[in-house]
Structure 1
């Protein structure tokens, strides 16, 4: 029921604001489509504040939601994104302002695709397919370049034309396939596998011109991403233009911004390489010339030395010294030999003097019994016992026939 008021019985502002709030509170949730023009996420705040605008008219409204609601789409929703929200109108009585409290946010159209792509990107990242350490360097000069591209496409012409301009002898192994539509993924995957198995292909380029997100979806397909990750041959992604970033760019060993850029990356420029060869040759000549000059100067200095001017001078000066040293060595060796000879003679004389044979030559004899025992005392010999007498010049037999009186004691 409308509130009855008169100029004399006017309602205060707070009452009008309260009545509006009561009416708004009776409204239910609605789905609203619009464009985000401003996002305010204060650190630590539980609520995210957004500005929601009608993209066709100059009409905006405040939109709020709890942080988990916005975080669910934060990876794909930015300022300027079109979204659909399920929200309930709210009236802030103290400030007299209307806003929408969102309980669900969905990207519109392409945004839904981006959500799926972002989910797939996180899954493949977790598998390690985008890791930098698994990417391989491209060969300096490939024997043959594998090219996967659309039939009679501008991308094919750009790659081949620019590659041949840089290196006229370049060779291609081309596979023309569908690059969009229902058959694109299977044909691109088959072409990549075929070129990866080719023995002469050293690098594979997957090229396509620009297009919408929907057109480039085949190059973000999980099957293609895993196929490229399993390739033994380095793969270059040249899809679309600079802003286009399909998932193939992330798994490829090299991402080229355009097909033309891919041609510049896979082969060197023959003019630049010839210039490098010329510069290297000039540096080598300069280095060799400097080395020869340095060595020639050193040789001149060496030849200027007095020893090299008269090389026999040093030998002649040392001749007398060598002769003196030889004489000194001979005298020393002679003295040592004489001294050793004298010592040997004295030692021999002492040995001879101490020898039992020398004692025998002085007239002594050694008496031995039949068993070989040496006789040292008369009482050791029995009467008529036969003994062997050994003298200096030989030996003979003796017999004891009598005993002396002094032996009888």
Structure 2
């Protein structure tokens, strides 16, 4: 029996499969209906909380009951379309304009029928001047406490930069002022120019990119960030925290030349040098060639005077040395020394002669004494020396023997004698 043809079996085949409860459980064989996804997205979006956001109005399209406003982020290239109903727009004291800075309470909404995600603006408020000033003041105090304004961190400008980096607007008067005034002061100055937006959303980020690019170039010795004057809101980009920190981190000295004398964005406090105007910046970054030539002339004249004075002093010193007797009459010293030598020679000769004479006398006396003590002198007085055959001197008659041959030495010559007798008689006895 074929059960597939039974009514019960046919009912089981026609029963639709159970839909997955979660999106991750869907498969190609068991997908969701599009409406299920749309309703689920609508539920998820509805659960998202509303949020206050800040941005800049770049486009306004007003209709009878609904206005469509395009907001752009103040820093990033991010924009979003906002739908505002008539009651929200009616609360504004003045109509929205392009470039206005606003805060909006946004609530995400997903339209099920078309699958379109939109942002509903429940409340919109222009950011007033007081709010901006308060924010800037808080930022200024915070950065000052961190030390970003400390003069100890300021870098000195080079005396003569090889190349000047310039960040400014496209074809702006500020660029012309900086280049013209710097070239007038130093015709050989070279520029590395980066033209970027200097107003509106994204301008701070563009300036940061140009600053970092120039800072990485070894040939750039100083960087000028210049912009002409404008409303307070137009200069807000130069008080953005990200730009201020980028300037503080730059290794190259940075000159701030924003607006006029009364315009003081926070960049003026962080930059190494503040120029009141772009014209002033052009005068600060390079020296004046005429002034430098004048200073070189003055320095050369001072150097000439110093060298002349030194030469004159040395000449006077040489003249003084030449006037001294040792140089003016050098033979005088020789004559004095010659006299000294003659005197010392005479004294030496006299002393040596006296010493020689005394020595001669002493030798004569000693010779006389030696002669007086000489045996020959005794012999000369008539005495004689008796010697035995072996040459020994006979001093005792008892030692002689009768018949012994003796030698008698006289003062002149000798006698040979024979002993005929001996006697012990002493001299003087009878």
* TM-score, length-scaled by structure 2: 0.50
Between the aligned partners of 2:285 and 2:345, the Cα distance in structure 1 is 78
Residue 309 of structure 1 is matched in structure 2 by 328
- Equivalent in the alignment of 2:179: 160
**Alpha-carbon shift at residue 317 of structure 1 (Å):** 1.1
CA offsets 1:90-131 (integer angstroms, 9 cap, x no match): xxxxxxxxxxxxxxxxxx921211000000111111111111
- Structure 2 runs not aligned, ≥5 long: 1-126, 356-430
Q: Spell out the pairing of 1:14-93 with structure 2 (5 A cutoff).
A: none
Q: Please say if 1:278 is aligned against 2:297.
A: yes
1:122 and 1:313, CA in 2 relative to 1: closer, same or farther beyond 3 A? Answer: same
Q: Determine helix, strand or coil for the equivalent of 1:205.
A: strand
Deviations 1:59-110 (A, max 9, x none): xxxxxxxxxxxxxxxxxxxxxxxxxxxxxxxxxxxxxxxxxxxxxxxxx921
| Aligned length, in residue pairs | 226
- Counterparts of 1:179-258 in structure 2 under 5 Å? 179-258=198-277
Distance in structure 2 (CA, Å) of the matches to 1:213 and 1:327: 111
SS at match of 1:246: coil
CA distance in 1 between partners of 2:346 and 2:179 (Å)? 90
Q: CA deviation at 1:159?
A: 0.2
- Number of the residue aligned with 2:170: 151
Equivalent residue of 1:215, what SS? helix
Inter-partner Cα distance in structure 2 for 1:251 and 1:183: 20
Q: Please name the residue that 1:49 is paired with.
A: none
Q: Which residue of the partner structure matches residue 115 of structure 1? A: 134
Could you say which structure has the larger radius of gyration?
Answer: 2
Aligned pairs (5 A) from 1:102-141: 109-141=128-160
3-state SS of paired residue (1:137)? coil
Offset, 1:324: 6.5
Q: 2: CA distance between counterparts of 1:172 and 1:329?
A: 92
Report what 2:189 is aligned to: 170
Note the residue ranges of structure 1 that are not aligned, 5 or more in a row. Answer: 1-107, 336-409
Over aligned residue pairs, what C-alpha RMSD do you find?
A: 2.3
TM-score scaled to structure 1, two decimals? 0.52
Q: 1:269 maps to which residue?
A: 288
Shift of 1:297: 2.6
The C-alpha deviation readout for 1:185-240, integer Å capped at 9, x for no partner, is 11000000000001100000000001111000000000000000000000000000
Runs of 4+ in 1 over 4 A off after TM superposition: 322-332
**Kindly tell me: are residues 238 and 323 of structure 1, through their superposed partners in 2, closer, same or farther at Cα, counting changes over 3 Å?**
farther
Question: Could you tell me how far 1:322 is from its partner in structure 2?
Answer: 5.9
Match of 1:299 among 278, 295, 318: 318
> What's the secondary structure of 2:264's corresponding residue?
coil
